[in-house]
Amino acid sequence: MQALPDRRQERAFWLRAPGCGEIRPVTLPEPGRDDVVVRTLRSGVSRGTETLVFRGGVPPGQYGAMRAPFQEGEFPGPVKYGYLSVGAVEHGPPQLQGRTVFCLYPHQTAYVVPARAVFVVPEGVPPARAVLAGTLETAVNAVWDAAPLLGDRIAVVGAGMVGCCVARLLARFPAVEVTLVDVDAGRAEVAAALGVDFALPGDAADGLDLVVHTSATSAGLQRSLDLLAPEGTVIDLSWYGDTDVRLSLGGAFHSGRLGIRASQVGTLSPARSGRRTTAGRLALALDLLQDPAFDALLTGTSPFDELPDVMARLAAGSLPALCHTITYGDR
């Protein structure tokens, strides 16, 4: 290992209380033999989950399930939360020194983690795109759960970060027709960049084999069911937090033998749990990010010092974004 850099004070973003974020000083711990010191280059705001946390919308019964890998504090706050970080290794094993890595770490200028917690970013994947690794990992798991077949007609309802990642992965299946459905007509441009069709909810064609739902709204889930052909299935990736979900199931739900299945990234898809690991799933996501089409999801950037205001604006909806990235210093 190289000489250990001075452990000067670093800074981290904390949610002090619902709706109120702040930058706090933090002193890094002394790294151990199997640790790395990572200097952050970019981080990404997971708009759906992180703004829900920012608003204090995590139900008490889900506090444990919603914990991020390196979270500090507890819901609803004070809490240090986040999981899309890309940085350069300043100190650690020789094979990692100087490498660009991804880590499921909150927004912080530098941090110390076990070497096994970082994943080398492939050559050709810029740091800004690499922050999508955690989101694309969710999409990989969802596609494993969905198990699309050759020639399927599929809609992805909800053109947020996760929905767009799922749509791009599905578009790479042979003879599969994919339509991205969203209430925002401006998402048509993103859909085109991802190589899929676009439709507003009222214009989407029905009779589909499979629908992936990511909008986190009752209306989106209802429309997903309405789009299915008999025996079709909705794969629901939405995280609703403390929001009630209301559905009308008096129509074709029973007669059409429709299905709703949950998918979430906390555990491996049962379809792959015997042959894959969570580390391998994240490594696969990073490899898939060599596809430049994912740059369409990067819709804005702000410096780290502005993150408290940026998070408030994202949560309020006054700052429209898919993936908003955060820069650190001159990096």
pTM comes to: 0.92
Domains and CATH numbers, the chain: 9-132+289-327 (3.90.180.10), 138-262 (3.40.50.720)
**Integer Cα distance of 12 and 33 in angstroms:** 24
**Integer Cα distance of 77 and 54 in angstroms:** 9
Structure tokens belonging to residue 68: 């991020």
pLDDT, one tens digit for every residue, the chain (331 residues): 445 555 578 999 999 999 999 999 999 999 999 999 999 999 999 888 899 999 999 999 999 989 999 999 999 999 999 999 999 999 999 999 999 999 999 999 999 999 999 999 999 999 999 999 999 999 999 999 999 999 999 999 999 999 999 999 999 999 999 999 999 999 999 999 999 999 999 999 999 999 999 999 999 999 999 999 999 999 999 988 888 899 999 888 999 999 999 998 888 998 898 899 999 999 999 999 999 999 999 999 999 999 999 999 999 999 988 999 999 985 4
**Integer Cα distance of 183 and 195 in angstroms:** 19
Q: What is the pLDDT of residue 7?
A: 57
CB 161 within 8 Å of CB 322: yes
CB 219 within 8 Å of CB 158: no
Q: What is the pLDDT of residue 330?
A: 57
Q: What is the pLDDT of residue 8?
A: 74
Q: What is the pLDDT of residue 110?
A: 98
Structure tokens belonging to residue 178: 């994919």
Q: What is the pLDDT of residue 6?
A: 55
Name the CA radius of gyration of the chain, rounded.
20
Q: What is the pLDDT of residue 331?
A: 47
Q: What is the pLDDT of residue 1?
A: 47
Q: What is the pLDDT of residue 4?
A: 52
Return the biggest CA–CA distance within the chain: 68
